[in-house]
Structure 1
Amino acid sequence: MKFVIKHEIKGRLRVHMAQQRMTYEQADVLQYYLQQSDLVVDAKVYEQTADVVISYNGDRAAMIHLLCTFKYQMVEVPEGYLESTGRELNSEYKEKLICKVVWHYGKKLILPAPIRNVITIVNGIRYIWKGLQSLRHRRLDVAVLDATGIAVSLLRQDMGTAGSVMFLLGIGELLEEWTHKKSVGDLARSMSLNVEKVWQKVGDQEILVSASTIEKDDEIIVHAGNIIPFDGVVTTGDATVNQASLTGESVPVAKNIDSYVYAGTVLEEGELTICVKATGSATKYEKIVTMIEDSEKLKSNLEGKAEHLADKLVPYTLGGTLLTWLLTRNVTKALSILMVDFSCALKLAMPISVLSAIREAQQCDITVKGGKYLEAVSEATTIVFDKTGTLTKAKPTVIDVIPFNDSEPEELLRIAACLEEHFPHSMAKAVVTAAKQKKLEHEEMHSKVEYIVAHGISSFMEEKRVVIGSYHFVFEDEQCVIPEGKEVIFNNLPEECSCLYMAIDQQLAAVICIEDPVREEAADVIRDLRDNGIQKIVMMTGDSERTAAAIAHKVGVDEYYSEVLPEDKANFVEQEKALGHKVIMIGDGINDSPALSAADAGVAISDGAAIAREIADITIAADNLHEIVTLKKISNRLMQRIHRNYRFIVGFNAGLIALGVGGIIQPTTSSLLHNTSTLYIGLKSMENLLDEQEKMNK
């Protein structure tokens, strides 16, 4: 596509696309195209001017070629992406704000005073009516205060003050509405599906296919721990499904034949075969938005306190106004109190602060599902880490397959991969990846597979029972034994590895040694978390005592627990909460789900199990553990900003009231200063909490 370079420095281009008008959809397509390139570090598309600002790494000629070869029609954008970017929403509210400001100040130049006064009176009726409705329901809230201030100003024929008050209230309403819708959109996008492959049932076979090929009335199979990718009806199977994302139900729902299941929910236990009834991603997104539209998840406790405090101050403001009038018989002094209510600033600054923090977290690859979770992270003193995929690297690798029967290692690995490919866990992915690297084909050779959470997998292959999983599962639960004469090999397994044990017909067949190295940044992250207010750092793992002790020593946690079950992690979190501690839980697997749900703030790794991401309150990218420190810093500074806003709003407005009652300033001046300070605090609340250097060091 043709374009013009408007500005250029090394590693950065600003270009103008050669088109008269760029639609929201075209801007999103171009943004997606650029972000998918390895060359591009960051890209911003401005649809109003058809300009693009690109930061890139590597060869300039390659970047120019990338732009030259771009065509809108050639870009395959994932289904549902365009409907959920939020670009049109942001543009809509920006235009509304600009129009409101231009109209407020422009009408003074365009319209004569009588017409302006009529408009002010008509607008005032809406606020007065809302105040009367509150009184009718015996509520003495901010609506009553707003109505009183506007009504008194109109009765005194002080149209300028009444207009200014309504202008600021209108700005506040717009920003609050924008805040809410954007928060809902961000939350819905974080919950939107990103399923690329599904298991399709074809005859008696399970075939792994692209989700985009699935059509209505196709049958798919969903295993435990996986997200349900499409709406549909259960044709076979019994399972429990977590529907919290759609219905808010905290207890999983039993599903069996003829039950209807919804896209975006997660299968916790069991297995289902589903006849697909709907495949559109856009409708899934819209459904999520509808379901969470009124969710209290979006508000932090401090946001709720701000609204409660604003309403709580109303009687005192009205009482102060009446008392001032009774003592001074001066309407001007009494009106000075009404012109300076605390509610505008309190109700405006708090949601903007939280939205800004959620947006900034998103820029750092951290998805936060609501303001209250940032508050919980700020207050947390205990953090609990799962080991595998969190403190250790997200992509463990198979380094050896040790046979304990007469089979070749490749054949044993092929069998293990055939079983493990059905279940989302980093250890399972390591086995499947190793088989792919060795180009081992593993068509379905087994009967139905059964997943036992935090233990392992069992199935039948050629009428022989095959189990694969932890030591506890294979040797204690399943009572498998080591073949005679193989004890020495077993006792000399490499200490530095995590092991998966596979047994066939009660006999150990293979030990798969998996290298799960500690993340290079883990020790630094532990130290930084202590510096930012975490007092107790715990590691919990289902791995052996030997492996757990080695990892704990390397990273420097305060406590560690080995060979734990999912309920052990959840019980520990509950015990810490019972002691009065706020707890963060960080995990990536199905077995972490109970603890993630129990914690004050559950943090999931983005490429972990679907159920972990579903239950978690916050999701971080898998490639950098420093994002946990970034999350803690953002949360801490958000709370500092909110408390600072409280102090400023109360102090400044109390000063204005004192000056007004003292007759030093007029009500119109009080209103102007109050409105200006409210806009100032709102704009300050939009600023980033971290500087660029801190983000670069994450």
Structure 2
Amino acid sequence: MVKIQQFFYQNKKTILIVNTVMLLLAEAAKWLLELMLPYQVLMFIVGVIGLIPILLTAISSLKVKLISIDVLVSLAVIGAFIIGEFNEAAIVTWLFMLGDYLEELTLKKTRSAVADLTKMAPKIALVIQPDGSTEEEDVDFIDPGEKILVKAGDQVPVDGKIVAGNGYLNEASVNGESKLANKTLGQQVYAGTILEDGTLTVEATAVGEDTTFGKIIEMVEEAQDSKSHVEKLINRFSKYYTPLVLVIALVVGLITRDIKLAITVMVLGCPGALVIGVPVSTVAGIGNGAKNGIMFKGSQVMDQMRQVDEMIFDKTGTLTVGHPEVSQIEILKGQRKEIIDLAAQIEANSNHPLAQAIAKLTNSAQFSGKVQTVKGKGVIAYGNQAYYLGNLALIKEEVGENIQLKETVAHLSKLGNSIVIFASQDQTQLAVFGIKDQLRPEAKTALEQLKANGIKKLVILSGDNKQTAQQIASELPIDEVHGEMLPADKAELVKQEQAQGHRVAFIGDGINDSPALANADLALAIGSGTDVAVDVSDIVLVKNDLRQIAYALVLSKKTVSNMNQNIFIALLTVVLLFIGLFAGYVEMASGMLIHELSILIVIINGMRLIKFHQKVDHRQVFAQRKPVELKA
């Protein structure tokens, strides 16, 4: 039986196509050629082929004491065969197969990116030997306490503490932050991060699966497993519907002693419109979302989306653009344009993210003089005189500092900026560049729309410091802010909010967001995010526009409402058919006609979703905004 089920499952599309062709040939034989025998034979064959997988599924469900719609359809089709209604058997099984295939298309997910995440985990480490030499070793064989050498451009292979050296680390894989972290003696480093500049000696504190990166992989896999057994909406409904129809048919048979009438009850009660109605709504709703840059991974996602009352946003790359840009320039001495052009030309020689942000300010050629990097401080450029670009320590050492400079640096730092100071050797030019990750231009409007559409709580999580996170949040209608969050912290907060009764959606874009995405009731990923974040998510915003979240919410509510309408139409049709049957106004043929009309109605109703478009009145949204309290 299992092999037969596997055959039909693996060849589902082919069998559906073959049955469709035979149905069309049967109808052509009847209406064009007036040949009833070929018509009956073809309908019989279609009915038998269609019944086999449904009957096998019904048997399997009965073994686990579940009376599914497959049971009702099987009995109805067998009954149709008994009373000679081969066309009814064929059409019912074809509709059931079509609905099942459409539903499978919308629910299909791939999880290949999780395997890619595993491949990204560090494999080799340079272990320092007692004589000072280094040897390559598999990370699985490294013990806590061993010392590891990490060179510029290498991936940190273990969680550990820096015991020698310093450098700039790209920690985006762990905390999602685009800004390089300056790590010095005694500070913690994490496996999977990349040393962009410098050399480190790290004493291992955790290796392999025990590292922060390893735990990210583990949490994602566990959360995915817990989500993989979501029941279809239609099966949950059938738990009550199917036994009811069977009881009615049995009662009718016992009272009337009319087997044909009892079978007719099952045939007319067979939920053709119910079977096709939900998949049509699903396909139309998901198609509408795709047309507008929103990828839903199945109909159950829409049902989950409409129930969400809290949304948690990762900051970097989600609410912000994900890379640093110059936000403010304070000129303390000299001409503004001259300073900006000269600073941009000098910084064009560097690959440092802060330098690249300044370099974007002009299209002029690179600085023609010599540029020297001062490790951990900045650069010195030599032209007609020396120019200094870097942190306060460099300027204080080379030029000196003053109260105005210190106050300007403190002010821009408080606003969440990273600081780069420009100074000339003759002290006639002095400026401070404030650089930070910029808020997405549509972020404010997007969050206002969510509030207007029923989301009660909006939260920001960030791997950055609390001050920077709160600075971003101060421009948005945010209810809570949490800073300095590692992946495990984000996932834990999601669980805490769920324990308080909230239906939580998490919106993120990076590997570091994966555990929180996987644990949330609903996961949304920015399309420009990592493959892992996109793979773990339930909804992907392809166009990277946060305003799509509100549209996804409204569309989900509309789609689920449309599904419920189709269920109501299907049930109403069955009720009316039963009334007509017992009143003597409906027979098998007329019942079949009404049955087919109800199917057409639910299809048309479902297709309305394709043309649905929600417009948001921004003036009304902003009028509804209320002051919010920030919580650290």
**TM-score relative to the length of structure 1:** 0.56
Superposition deviation, residue 519 in structure 1: 3.9
Deviation sequence 1:72-101 (CA, Å, 0-9, x none): xxxxxxxxxxxxxxxxxxx99998797466
Give the Cα separation in 2 of the matches to 1:525 and 1:115: 60
Is the Cα–Cα contact under 8 Å of residues 585 and 595 in structure 1 kept in the other structure? yes
Answer yes or no: is 1:105 the counterpart of 2:27: yes
Deviation sequence 1:670-689 (CA, Å, 0-9, x none): 23212321232134223326
Superposition deviation, residue 170 in structure 1: 0.8
Give the Cα separation in 1 of the matches to 2:88 and 2:262: 18
Deviation sequence 1:208-246 (CA, Å, 0-9, x none): xxxxxxxxxxxxxx99749xxxxxxxxxxx9779xxxxx
Deviation sequence 1:92-120 (CA, Å, 0-9, x none): 99987974663342121325223333333
Higher relative contact order (CA 8 A, sep 6+): 2
Is the Cα–Cα contact under 8 Å of residues 26 and 39 in structure 2 kept in the other structure? no
What's the counterpart of residue 558 of structure 1? 479
Superposition deviation, residue 535 in structure 1: 0.6
What's the counterpart of residue 75 of structure 2? 148
Find the partner of 1:606 among 500, 518, 527. 527
Distance of aligned partners of 1:372 and 1:514 in 2 relative to their CA distance in 1, 3 Å threshold = farther
What's the counterpart of residue 327 of structure 1? 255
Give the Cα separation in 2 of the matches to 1:562 and 1:135: 52
What's the counterpart of residue 492 of structure 1? 408
Distance of aligned partners of 1:95 and 1:548 in 2 relative to their CA distance in 1, 3 Å threshold = same
What's the counterpart of residue 5 of structure 2? none
Is the Cα–Cα contact under 8 Å of residues 345 and 364 in structure 2 kept in the other structure? no
Find the partner of 2:444 among 507, 523, 536. 523
Answer yes or no: is 1:417 the counterpart of 2:345: no
Find the partner of 1:619 among 521, 524, 540. 540
- Higher-Rg structure is 2
What amino acid sits opposite 2:518 in the alignment?
S
Is the Cα–Cα contact under 8 Å of residues 339 and 670 in structure 1 kept in the other structure? no
What's the counterpart of residue 115 of structure 1? 38
Is the Cα–Cα contact under 8 Å of residues 164 and 672 in structure 1 kept in the other structure? no
Deviation sequence 1:303-355 (CA, Å, 0-9, x none): x1312433553333233212102212234532331122354333322233222
Distance of aligned partners of 1:371 and 1:440 in 2 relative to their CA distance in 1, 3 Å threshold = farther
Give the Cα separation in 1 of the matches to 2:291 and 2:43: 42
Distance of aligned partners of 1:128 and 1:571 in 2 relative to their CA distance in 1, 3 Å threshold = closer
What's the counterpart of residue 269 of structure 2? 341
Answer yes or no: is 1:367 the counterpart of 2:367: no
What's the counterpart of residue 685 of structure 1? 606
Deviation sequence 1:155-199 (CA, Å, 0-9, x none): 333x3xx303422421331343244246548x6999999xxxxxx
Q: Name the SS for the 2:608 alignment partner.
A: coil
Give the Cα separation in 2 of the matches to 1:676 and 1:578: 46
Answer yes or no: is 1:177 the counterpart of 2:98: no
Is the Cα–Cα contact under 8 Å of residues 523 and 537 in structure 2 kept in the other structure? yes
Superposition deviation, residue 127 in structure 1: 5.2
Is the Cα–Cα contact under 8 Å of residues 183 and 355 in structure 1 kept in the other structure? no
Distance of aligned partners of 1:225 and 1:413 in 2 relative to their CA distance in 1, 3 Å threshold = farther
Give the Cα separation in 1 of the matches to 2:173 and 2:469: 25
What's the counterpart of residue 624 of structure 2? none
Distance of aligned partners of 1:111 and 1:563 in 2 relative to their CA distance in 1, 3 Å threshold = same
Distance of aligned partners of 1:133 and 1:636 in 2 relative to their CA distance in 1, 3 Å threshold = closer
Q: Name the SS for the 2:269 alignment partner.
A: coil
Answer yes or no: is 1:587 the counterpart of 2:587: no
Matches within 5 A, 1:133-144: 133=56, 138-139=62-63, 140-144=67-71
Deviation sequence 1:571-630 (CA, Å, 0-9, x none): 322211111111112223444333223222222222234443343332214553211111
Q: Name the SS for the 1:384 alignment partner.
A: strand
What amino acid sits opposite 1:540 in the alignment?
L
Distance of aligned partners of 1:395 and 1:629 in 2 relative to their CA distance in 1, 3 Å threshold = farther
Superposition deviation, residue 637 in structure 1: 1.2
**TM-score relative to the length of structure 2:** 0.61
Where in structure 1 are there 5+ consecutive unaligned residues?
A: 1-90, 194-203, 208-221, 227-237, 242-252, 256-266, 271-294, 403-407, 421-427, 446-460, 468-479, 504-509
Superposition deviation, residue 521 in structure 1: 3.4
What amino acid sits opposite 1:153 in the alignment?
A
Distance of aligned partners of 1:146 and 1:605 in 2 relative to their CA distance in 1, 3 Å threshold = closer
Give the Cα separation in 1 of the matches to 2:432 and 2:570: 65
Matches within 5 A, 1:211-230: 225=173
Give the Cα separation in 1 of the matches to 2:376 and 2:93: 70
Give the Cα separation in 2 of the matches to 1:666 and 1:632: 44
Is the Cα–Cα contact under 8 Å of residues 281 and 609 in structure 2 kept in the other structure? no
Is the Cα–Cα contact under 8 Å of residues 414 and 435 in structure 1 kept in the other structure? no
What's the counterpart of residue 694 of structure 1? 615
What amino acid sits opposite 2:286 in the alignment?
I
Give the Cα separation in 1 of the matches to 2:293 and 2:112: 13
Is the Cα–Cα contact under 8 Å of residues 308 and 502 in structure 2 kept in the other structure? yes
Give the Cα separation in 2 of the matches to 1:317 and 1:657: 10
Give the Cα separation in 2 of the matches to 1:440 and 1:269: 42
Find the partner of 2:461 among 533, 540, 544. 540
Q: Name the SS for the 1:492 alignment partner.
A: helix
What's the counterpart of residue 318 of structure 2? 390
Matches within 5 A, 1:655-666: 655-666=576-587
What amino acid sits opposite 1:114 in the alignment?
L
Distance of aligned partners of 1:439 and 1:599 in 2 relative to their CA distance in 1, 3 Å threshold = farther
Give the Cα separation in 2 of the matches to 1:305 and 1:691: 22
CA RMSD of aligned residues (A): 5.0
Matches within 5 A, 1:394-413: 396-398=324-326, 413=347
What amino acid sits opposite 1:630 in the alignment?
Y
Give the Cα separation in 1 of the matches to 2:579 and 2:73: 20
What amino acid sits opposite 1:167 in the alignment?
I
What's the counterpart of residue 63 of structure 1? none
Count residues in correspondence.
476
